[in-house]
Amino acid sequence: MILKLIWRNLWRNSRRTLITMASIAFAVLFAVLMKSFQDGVFNNLIKNVVGYYSGYVQIHQKGYWDEQILDNSFELKKELNNQLQQNHQITAIVPRLETFVLASKGNTTKGCLLVGTDAVRENKLTQLKSKLIKGSYFENNEATVLIAEGLAKRLEVSVSDTIVLFGQGFHGVMAAGKYKIKGIIHLASPEMNAAFVYLPLTATQSFLSAENRLTSVSIGIDDPENTDAIAQNIKAIIGQQYEVMPWQELIPDVANHIKADGFSFYIFSGILYLIIGFGLFGTVLMMTAERKYEFGMLIAIGMKKSKLQLILFGETVLITFFGVLLGILMSLPLVLYLQEKPIRFGGELAKAYEQFGFEALFPTNVDPNIFITQSLIVLGMAVLIGVYPLWHIHGLDPVNAMKK
């Protein structure tokens, strides 16, 4: 009988119930869309930034990040390599030897970042081959370089030209070498585009007299959500002489931007929920006020206040439950569609994004947690609002309630 009463009371003013349900449904729809867009865009941003160079996790010799010199390089032992390869969540392991050197052509000399890397593995993590705008991609057994477009312009060099690299090698030895340019690459970040030179790892180690040594191992993973867990896992396996850094520590600017934007999401969704909360409260207030006589009559004829409270609470929760359900049913196909066919900006906006190494792409993230969290927030709000009729009934005097 209680359930029957809850259900029928819900529909005694069907228009009002439907409007309230619709407002809850739209709140859930907007909140889910906002959050899944935000997560989707951030995941894409992370994929872009992290996939562009750093990788999701990096391993260095302990102390390297604070003092980035070749003397803080390390030897990649076979067992460490095996341990990393055994982790199924790791999709790419890129050994690198990086240092600042001078690049020279004729009378022009410029400072640059020399990145000694495995040609095949590098391409797997950062799709370096796809950034080639002239010439061809280098191979591991060669001693040829890929030079960033901006640096090539500054040195006034092109494919097949030879540049001289010189700098300081391992343990302070003099490093100098002549390398033929095999390709010119375009890197979206202006800073990187003006300074990067890629050389196969073996050739770099030989150039810097640092046989078998690396400054970093960049790691690609299958799910960015697991970055911290994987970093912790690696840390636990490889021992104390290494430092393991997730991308948030490697690129703190991006991590902070995401954190700040996440905070603004909470403000926006908070405002949204506040508006919906007041809407729902208004409905509950009306539902309570217009039935005051009826409540008085029910208590007078022998209905316990707790039963009446249960009915009213049930009405509030049920109205919210249906609103939330409707919201999920409305948002799910939309979020799925936008994940499959993300919004892609064109024109100047796309160019501006691409200049900074980001795709002008706005995908959504279909994460069940988003739906669960947003639904629980609205339901929690309903429970909170549902306290009002309970309080009202608690203090209800049937004689006063039945006065007209």
**Residues found near other proteins in the complex (CB under 8 A):** 1, 4-5, 8-9, 12, 293-294, 297-307, 398-399, 402
CA distance 219 to 57: 5
Q: How far is the CB of 297 from other proteins (least distance, A)?
A: 6
Measured over the CA atoms of residue 281, residue 283, residue 287 and residue 290, the dihedral's sign is positive
CB closer to other proteins, 174 vs 399: 399
CB closer to other proteins, 228 vs 290: 290
CB closer to other proteins, 260 vs 399: 399
CA distance 109 to 144: 18
Q: How far is the CB of 294 from other proteins (least distance, A)?
A: 7
Within 13 Å, how many C-alpha atoms sit on residue 243's CB side?
18
Rounded to 10°, the helix 14-49/368-385 angle is 140
Q: How far is the CB of 339 from other proteins (least distance, A)?
A: 43
CB closer to other proteins, 303 vs 330: 303
Q: Do residues 20 and 317 lie in contact, with contact meaning Cβ atoms separated by under 8 Å?
A: no
CB closer to other proteins, 229 vs 300: 300
Report residue 297: phi and psi, to 5°: -65, -45
Question: Alpha carbon of 200 to those of 119, 134, 216: distances in Å?
Answer: 6, 18, 15
CB closer to other proteins, 14 vs 141: 14
Question: What one-character DSSP code corresponds to residue 54?
Answer: I
Q: How far is the CB of 329 from other proteins (least distance, A)?
A: 27
Question: Alpha carbon of 202 to those of 115, 139, 300, 392: distances in Å?
Answer: 11, 11, 91, 79
Q: How far is the CB of 397 from other proteins (least distance, A)?
A: 9
Q: How far is the CB of 358 from other proteins (least distance, A)?
A: 57
Q: How far is the CB of 379 from other proteins (least distance, A)?
A: 24
User: CB neighbours of 335 closer than 8 A, spacing ≥ 6?
Assistant: 32, 33, 36, 364, 366
CB closer to other proteins, 12 vs 341: 12
